[in-house]
Amino acid sequence: MKTLIARAIDETDAALLSQACTSRDLQQDLLRVRMVPFKNLSERLYRIVRQAAKEAGKRANLEIQGSEIE
């Protein structure tokens, strides 16, 4: 009985360790997927600024520096 319980505990520990590693790997992969160069978003931001300026009847200029940042 004791060996059966000890084996179950060992298997549970191994499963928890495996799950923690998988969870960490998944989290790192998700962060990498979300990291895109800011320049990929800049064209959309320019368009939004142009549209907002047009709707407000104002002039606006968007200047982006450091667009290589992720």
Name, in order, each residue with C-beta under 8 angstroms of 37's C-beta and a sequence gap of 6 or more. 67, 68, 69, 70
- What pLDDT sits at residue 69? 65
The domain spans of the chain are: 1-35, 36-70
Tens digit of each residue's pLDDT (9 = 90 or more) over 3-34: 999 999 999 999 999 999 999 999 988 888 77
Tokens 């989290």 belong to which residue? 27
Tens digit of each residue's pLDDT (9 = 90 or more) over 42-53: 888 999 999 999
Its pTM surpasses 0.75: no
- What pLDDT sits at residue 60? 92
